[in-house]
Structure 1
Amino acid sequence: MTEHLHPCCDPSTPSAIWEGTPSGEVIEISGIETYIAKPPALKGSSPTLKVDKVILFLTEGHGIYLPNAQLLADSFASHLNCDIIMPDEFAGQARLPKNIEPSLYPHKVIPWTEDKNDPNYDLRGLAVPHEPEVTDPILEKIVSWIHESYGQGVKIGGVGYCFGGRYVMRLMGAGVIDVGVVNHPSFFNMDEVGKLGRGKRLAIFAAERDDILPAEERRGTEDVLTRTGVTWTSTVFSGTEHGFSVRGDLSIKEMRLAKEYAFRGAVQWFSDWL
């Protein structure tokens, strides 16, 4: 079932692994494994501490156990001084294995496990379709937990990568969040973009070469955002490919700088609008 997957959605696709040691923790929320990153000043505090904002981090197909995603979540927590909530949107059905040790891979890439006894072996990649009817209920549980834990008045920002970018926009269109950042978003449709309107703030960070979000589709998205009155910005980085901001090869200067600029741009966007 996985032979038709785009590489960005298939955890069997090797990924460059960034240096660093993630400092967050994985907890279960309504049965959903969720990585939570806290700013240094709040380390060890209660997960139900009342704060004024949190960021919902929605991953691409490699999921919450990709070290790069965890490192990004940690960095957002530190720079924005708030908790980052990164749920497993795939309910364990499309993810890298837990307890990844990058040192085991001399070329610093992580292939999908070939352990046929792994209960997820037959579900490699997105073998089970993860359409809105599957993913939306998962995110509803997470959002409910956020409101119960942090207070009904907490402001929720959303940052999404590839697959997760679509769901940041869906949450914005549904009125759950007002401020979002999407990095090389994929598989969304213009009806979903059209549900965003005045009062919504969306930043797009896109790759120059992206067969999922080609230039004409990105420009069409910008046209819809303009018509509906969204406050938006869109940045394209030359020399980059789809996935650069979370799985880019940092030994390539263009990729490294684009990843860094996209991260700083997201931090600034949330600082200005959330």
Structure 2
Amino acid sequence: MTSNNLARCCTLGSLHEGVAKGEIKDIGNISTYFSYPPDKSTENAILILSDVIGHRFINTQLIADQFAAAGYFVVLPDLFYGDTVPLNRPEGFNVMDWVKNHFPEQTDPIIESVLTEMRENLGCKRIGGVGYCFGGKYVCRFLKPGKLDAGYTAHPTMVDADELSGIEGPLSISAAVRDHVFSTAKRHESEEILDKKEVPWQINLFPDVEHGFSVRCDVTKPRQKYAKEQAFAQAVAWFDEYVKKH
């Protein structure tokens, strides 16, 4: 495994202020947040695969709106059928007990359905995948022709070595120096795997932040806010190169 299991840090963080500009509609029986670019085009799209707090988390919706403002049609589905983890659960909460109901056999079909809808009915020609924490595993699993054309993940969790080695498209990663889940050892292992691949890849490393920083950091702290903004800019630059230019 090139990143460790979920831990309590995957449920902690700060709530961000803002008003979401998108809308929630269903794809089949999957509740989904949609955010549209200024020109309303759906050709260049981003599928956000969220952390365990889910698609109704305002922090993630605001990020979706940022991607939309950058020119992408954004789809943010509920990967958990409503069984999300509230922000800052008490210490006794065991996230590994929770995730037993959200392994690939439950999660893959949701993503398959959403991708089919995006490509067949929503007019998406190129799709980039964004995976935060929990979602990082699934960016790797779906980074294949006809699924995701390019991938980005920040502080991924539970990525198996064969999932990472099996990617077939460009992958960009944002990592924190202090992260018990995507640890230094796991990051180096990931680098070794990716270095053997022919696809483009990068790992950007951020100090002053911890696991979850790209979504749940304390934006009142300048260094954390800067890292979050730079991680987002990294993702946009990646998709501008590997989604929009093709």
Q: Normalised by the size of structure 2, how large is the TM-score?
A: 0.88
> How far apart are the structure 2 equivalents of 1:86 and 1:72?
10
CA RMSD in angstroms comes to 2.2
| Aligned pairs (5 A) from 1:19-98 | 19-42=17-40, 51-79=42-70, 81-96=71-86
Question: Among residues 122, 128, 153, which one is paired with 1:182 in the alignment?
Answer: 153
Q: Give me the identity figure in percent.
A: 37
Amino acid in structure 2 at the alignment position of 1:132: P
> How far apart are the structure 1 equivalents of 2:44 and 2:125?
5
Contact 2:6 2:157 in 1 (8 A): no
Shift of 1:175: 5.2
> How far apart are the structure 1 equivalents of 2:99 and 2:140?
23
Q: Which runs of 5+ in 2 are unaligned?
A: none
| Aligned pairs (5 A) from 1:195-206 | 195-197=166-168, 200-206=169-175
2:117 is matched with: 145
Contact 1:68 1:246 in 2 (8 A): yes
CA deviation profile, 1:105-142 (whole Å, cap 9, x unmatched) = xxxxx5569xxxxxxxxx99825431111100111110
Shift of 1:7: 1.8
Name which one, 1 or 2, has greater alpha-carbon Rg.
1
In the alignment, is residue 214 of structure 1 matched against residue 204 of structure 2?
A: no
Paired residues in the alignment total 235
Amino acid in structure 1 at the alignment position of 2:166: K
Amino acid in structure 1 at the alignment position of 2:48: F
2:204 is matched with: 235
> How far apart are the structure 1 equivalents of 2:99 and 2:233?
34
In the alignment, is residue 163 of structure 1 matched against residue 134 of structure 2?
A: yes
The SS at the match of 1:41 is coil
> How far apart are the structure 1 equivalents of 2:141 and 2:6?
22
Q: Which runs of 5+ in 1 are unaligned?
A: 43-48, 97-109, 114-122
2:104 is matched with: 132
Shift of 1:5: 6.3
1:120 is matched with: none
Q: 1:181 to 1:127 in 2, by over 3 A?
A: closer
Shift of 1:40: 3.2
In the alignment, is residue 262 of structure 1 matched against residue 208 of structure 2?
A: no
The SS at the match of 2:81 is coil
The SS at the match of 1:63 is coil
Q: 1:263 to 1:144 in 2, by over 3 A?
A: same
CA deviation profile, 1:171-216 (whole Å, cap 9, x unmatched) = 014751121110001111111011124xx11100001111111011
Amino acid in structure 2 at the alignment position of 1:161: Y
1:45 is matched with: none
Shift of 1:246: 0.1
Q: 1:190 to 1:173 in 2, by over 3 A?
A: farther
Segment drifting more, 232-241 vs 168-177:
168-177
1:6 is matched with: 7
